[in-house]
Amino acid sequence: MGDTMIAEKNPPPNTGVVTVTETSDASRYVVVPSRTYETAKRVIDVFLAVAAIVVALPLCLLIAILIKLNSQGPVLFRQKRPGKDGEPFELLKFRTMAKDAEHRLHEVIDVEDTTDPLIRLDDDPRVTGVGHLLRVTSIDELPQLVNVLKGEMSLVGPRPISRPIHDPRNDLRLQVTPGMTGLWQVSGRKNGDTDFMLRKDLEYLRRRSLSFDMLLLLKTVLAVIKADGAR
């Protein structure tokens, strides 16, 4: 059992940890966190985020220079994402697309006819040369260490998604702090749709513990080295 459990909002007698797999079931449950786990997780987040920023600072400066030399626009991409309890925050990433990419989305996909909130394009013409390399290696996510320090994100947790997800299981995801990485990311996210993401995130919520978080961080490092699971 992890340090967090998913329990029914109005449980019958003797109800403990439950398994939520069906969409229709999710609205009946709530995430019940452990204060000890949340406190320890926050301490680890701050310590590792500070250490990672110090180590990665020279690389980040080099990336910033390459982005400016490669294309016009800001170094950082900023976008509002839903945080814990749905509270919006400004997620940071290294910019990997042309500066007008969001306005050109209709040129590469019909958003109105796209039912899956996870928009994935194998050959997106809006991605810059440097941006492609950053995406393959997932280095574009490094600025989110600042989000972690601010308490808007955790190193490990459900990924904040920009488009609305109309599924009761997403309500459970939003009850915890979103993360830079998670079970979905190390399970081959590039091959999965929204349902796959939700199933993996609910599995994470059921198994959430400090040891499992550390395991996912280790798997993330290995995935980055192998460029496995990148967009």
The reported pLDDT for the residue numbered 90 is: 98
Task: Give 178's contacts (C-beta < 8 A, 6+ positions apart).
Answer: 81, 82, 83, 84, 152, 153, 154, 157, 158, 159, 160
Residues 153/177, Cβ–Cβ less than 8 Å: yes
Rounded to an integer, what distance in angstroms lies between the CA atom of residue 155 and that of residue 49?
A: 8
Amino acid at 61: L
Residue 136: the pLDDT is 87
Low-confidence ranges of the chain (pLDDT < 70): 1-27, 106, 110-117, 119-122, 189-191, 227-231
Q: Residue 162's pLDDT is what?
A: 86
Q: Is the dihedral of CA 41, 43, 46, 50 positive or negative?
A: negative
